[in-house]
Amino acid sequence: MRLIALVLATAAALAACDQHRIEKLEEGLSTETDVRRQFGEPSHVSERADGSKVLEYPRQPEGSTNYLIVIGTDGKMSSLRQLLTPANFTRVQTGMAQVDVRRALGKPAKTQSFAGKPDEEVWDWRFLDGQQKKVFTVTFDRERRVLSSATMDDPRETLAGGR
């Protein structure tokens, strides 16, 4: 129980720190160095065809955000977006490719497969809907295409005994 309390306290502190970090950055003015000074090393960096860079800062599995920061070809931050939003969840449609879901929502909190359904893979993202902790789940088929998606209360909040 102490470990769970420590993990939750750390996640809450990280969320507060992120807001403070975001406030120190400004689109069009802050540089990649400024972003890295505030957020640290990204979990993943990719380069777009136009030469801009995409820096990923997931706060999963315990956090409720996934940040995507774009650094333009001029070396300045052109956007900072929190990906785990209802608008992004509605973009996930049946038949969508797994790679496009990953691009839209960032790194999932959890991925899993089940012995009884070897042709399926399930990805979960934890997020906040107001103050309610929720999970957005996407099930993929063997071709790595969306079979279904759903939003539910975070089971860790509804389990007997707390977590």
Q: Each residue of 115-140: pLDDT tens digit?
A: 888 899 999 999 999 999 999 999 99
Q: How many structural domains compose the chain?
A: 2
Stretch 54-63: mean pLDDT, rounded? 93
- Say if residue 45 is in the same domain as residue 94: no
Alpha-carbon distances, residue 20 vs 58, 77, 127 (angstroms): 16, 17, 19
pLDDT at 158 (0 to 100): 74
Last residue of a domain, one of 82, 102, 133: 82
Q: Which domain holds residue 92?
A: 86-158
- How crowded is the C-beta side of 146, counted as CA atoms within 13 Å? 20
Enter the pTM of the model: 0.81
Residue 32 pLDDT exceeds 60: yes
CATH number of the domain at 130, please: 3.30.1450.10
At residue 161, the pLDDT reads 55
Give a yes or no: residue 136 inside a domain. yes
